[in-house]
Structure 1
Amino acid sequence: MNELNLEYKIIGKDKTLVVIETGIGSSFYDWYSIVEELKEDFTIVLYHRCGYGKSQDPKTSRTTKNIAGELNCLLDKIGIKDKFILVGHSFGGLCVQNYAKMYPHKLKGIMLIDSTSFNFKQLYMLDTPVMNFHIAIDKMVESNINCSKK
């Protein structure tokens, strides 16, 4: 994978490392209040995926496999050698699940927070009229695409 220019921050000084993969449309700044609570007990790596914050625009399709590979390149670039805990929120949870499949030897564990399911399309096949009325997949995809461009 070519050299990536991804914006990141490392906060905290404890030996236990936590890497956070944010959801679609989220910034790592959204995690600062949580990081403030954790920084005494952990070292936290926050980063913006391609197309977010000051990170470069994506040069590959936005698949969870490509995102996991990009995260791995960043962690190699900044010298992360110890096993770490990988946290994934929402869409970031899908990326974390793919990272765990690709690089299981690098992880102490994963934590999924309100993660999107790998088989999320099956959820929309269920007969749930109330959910279908409030959450249309087309509108959610459109919203996520719009948020990812900001």
Structure 2
Amino acid sequence: MQSKIPTAKHKFEGHEGAIYSFVFLHDNVHVVSGSEDCTMRKWNCDTGRLVGEPWKGEGRRILALALSPDGKTIACGREDGSVQRWDTDGKVKSIWTGHSDSVRSLSWSPSGGHIASGSGDGTILIREAESGKVDVGPI
């Protein structure tokens, strides 16, 4: 018995480079993608269409995204070593530095009180999610 190859319902087109990360929002309708083109984009999964304009912000390529447990904030890790917090409508809430190489992984604590970032510099920083103060690290 041969398995069928699924047919795509929609093709999400718009980024001008590789997509490195994406997150589903808690509404189960939207996803946000982060790309080599230094933008994030919010997509409607029901229509396959871009919602609003690309989110540019400051910094280089976007390599990692993570959604907060309450679904209201996206952490963004960039090639320049910065970690940014965005609301789910595309507004930057804060920008933090501290890594000397690209941020390649991010994770929120289950409570939403902390964000951990892993970097190409071989370190992990654990920060308070609201203030950005480093609580632990570099590890």
Same fold (TM over 0.5): no
**Could you state the TM-score of these two structures normalised by the residue count of structure 1?**
0.24
* Greater strand fraction, Structure 1 or Structure 2: 2
